[in-house]
Structures are given as C-alpha cells and as structure tokens.
Amino acid sequence: MPQILGKQVGALGYGLMGFTWRPSPPPLDQALEAMKTAVNNGCTVWNGAEFYGTPEYNSMTLLKHYFTKYPEDVDKVTIFVKGGQNLNTLVPDGSPENTRRSLDNIIAQLGGVKKLDAFAFARRDSKTPFEETLSVIQKEYIDTGKLGGVYLSECSAETIHEAVKHAKILAAEVELSMFTPDILKNGVAAACAQHGIPILAYSPIGRGMLTGRFTESSQFKQFGFISTFPRFQEAAFEQNLKLVSKVQDLAKEKGCTPAQLAISWVRSLSERDGLPTIIPIPGATTAARVNENSTLIELSEGDVKAIREIVDTFEVSGGRYPTGAPTNT
C-alpha cells in the first residue's frame, strides 16, 4: 500500500467535487453515506478544494459535517484541499497575502474537526515566484503544525522539478484516464517518478464519460461548467463515444463495468515500467457508485497492453479544458 505523511493509504482515493460544485448538489445525508462507504472500502485519500461550492457549502464544510458525525474516521482519512485562487475570479494568486488568506479560510472552515493534511495551489501563479509561495506555506503553516504538507495540482514537469528544490512534495494531482494519458508522454509522470512523488489521478473515468451511461452530450448539463468542455460538445462527443464503445466491449469480456475497467487500468499503471505510485481518485455521489468504483479488477499483462494500444491509437476529439483555461501549470 502507498504511504503519505508516513501513513498507509488505500490503493484508491476519493474526489469530493461532485458533492458541492454542480448546479444541484446531492442531499447532505446522501453525501455522508457515500463518504462513509468510501472509508469502509479503503478509499482514504480525499481530495477537495476551497472553491468547490459556495462560501456556505463547500469541501471544507462537508468535511466538517462528516468528521463531526464520524470522529472515529479522523485518523483513517488523509485530506488534500486545493486553494490559492481568487474566489471571485478563480485566477491563481500566489502572493503571500492570498496564500495566507486561502489557508486560513480552509483551516477555519474545517472547524477544528481535523487537521488539514495537504494543501496545493490549484494552479500555479506565474506572476509570483514559486519559491516565495512555498516559503510561506512551509514556514508559517507546515513548520508551525497547522498543515501536514504541500502537494501540486495540474502541474507541469518543470514545476515539479522546481518545487522539490524548495519543499517536500507529498503528491501531484493530475488528470489521467484512457481519454487523457497525457502525463505518460509529457514528462509529468517521469518527473514524479524521478522524485518519488505519488500521483493522485483525477478524472480516471473521464468525468463520467467512460461509465457508458451517457449517450448524448446534452446529458452533461447536469454537471454544470463541465458541460462546456470541448470534448463534451456534440461533434466531439460523437467521436469520443467510439472509445467508450471499445471500453464497454472490454469490460464485458472481463465481467465488470466500464468504470471498474477504466479505474483499474489507471491503477494498474502504478509503479509499472518506471512510473511512480498512482492513486486514482474517482468521484461518486452515491454509496452504490462508490462500491462500484472501489472494486478493482485484476488485469493481466495482456489486458494492460491491449488497453494501452487502444489508448495510444485512439484520437480523442476536443481539449481537456476550454480555451484559455490554465493547464499543466
């Protein structure tokens, strides 16, 4: 099992975005049930963000609700929370003032129910020296015991190489799925392997696309801003359904769901062929989906190679994010 902050964590983690950052969030009771199911299934690396939701209902307030109800799970779960952005514009601001504002806000909203284990800037601020930002985090929050450590989010290989000069990096949260194998080719995974940094692989089921439950692009409107992403527009969506079809066929052969196959493939890459530890962090807002997603399927060498061949040869239509959105920062 992988270790973070000297503690063993599960082979799978858990993404919290869907609970609070969509037009119609699920009821709190449903959220708490799903989160409890994640703990019971060993999905104990939880990933949220300061901006996932409103000032009144977000990742931190949700976590406060959970650990107030289940204090026995405080030591079982490792929480990673991104921040560092202007909450009105979502523009990254790595200044010392905003770094303190973000961390103080996250810690305050947790309400003392659990220490913040790890913090990252959701996107690197190119206008502020990274060393300056990391120094504030280290000296004022990690060294004083307010924070466990720092991680990176949506980062480039260059940022990883620079960050390790100034801080111990606990993990890198980057996108990885059959739709998005980019980090296997752009140096990010290699940089993490070089420095012994685990990867938290977000969107391992392609923001739900690889479940096979979506047949029309309009169905993504329930997810809010995600529906504006290029690969979910009608023309691109039709092309991308061809990959979904291939995944469905493979899943049928393995006797599992497409989501289970997609997650298990990402997990199968962990420490394979020189890659670092990889912990998929799929999101799910119901206990039933958590149970489905946390069932890892054993893949043979032949399975892994066959999937990799499909992934490497399939031409995905549409970008990961809308034009202008900061990526690989």
Q: For 246-259, write each residue's pLDDT tens digit.
A: 999 999 999 999 99
Q: Which amino acid is at 100?
A: R
More confident residue, 222 or 286: 286
- The pLDDT value recorded for residue 216 is 82
Q: Check 14, 52, 66, 202 and give the catalytic one.
A: 52
Instruction: Determine contact, residues 287/53, Cβ cutoff 8 Å.
Output: no
Backbone Cα Rg of the chain:
19
Contacts of 279 (CB under 8 A, 6+ apart): 2, 9, 10, 11, 12, 13, 45, 171, 198, 199, 200, 201, 267, 270
Q: Is 321 exposed, middle or buried (0-12, 13-18, 19+ CB in 10 A)?
A: middle
Q: What is the pLDDT of residues 171-211, one digit of tens each?
A: 999 999 999 999 999 999 999 999 999 999 999 999 989 99
Q: What is the pLDDT of residues 17-67, one digit of tens each?
A: 999 998 899 999 999 999 999 999 999 999 999 999 999 999 999 999 999
Evaluate if residue 221 carries a pLDDT over 80.
no
3-state secondary structure 61-117: HHHHHHHHHCHHHCCCCEEEEEECECCCCCCECCCHHHHHHHHHHHHHHHCCCCCEE
Instruction: Determine contact, residues 162/130, Cβ cutoff 8 Å.
Output: yes
- The pLDDT value recorded for residue 230 is 84
Q: Using CA atoms, how far apart are residues 195 and 158, in angstroms rounded to an integer?
A: 12
52 classed as catalytic: yes
Question: Pick from 116, 45, 50: which is nearest to 76 by CA?
Answer: 45
The CA-based dihedral angle spanning residues 27, 29, 31, 32, taken in that order and rounded to the nearest 10 degrees: 160
Q: What is the pLDDT of residues 258-292, one digit of tens each?
A: 999 999 999 999 999 999 999 999 999 999 999 99
Parallel/antiparallel/unpaired status of strands 278-280 and 199-202: parallel
Distance set, CA 155 to CA 189, 280, 302 (Å): 11, 17, 31
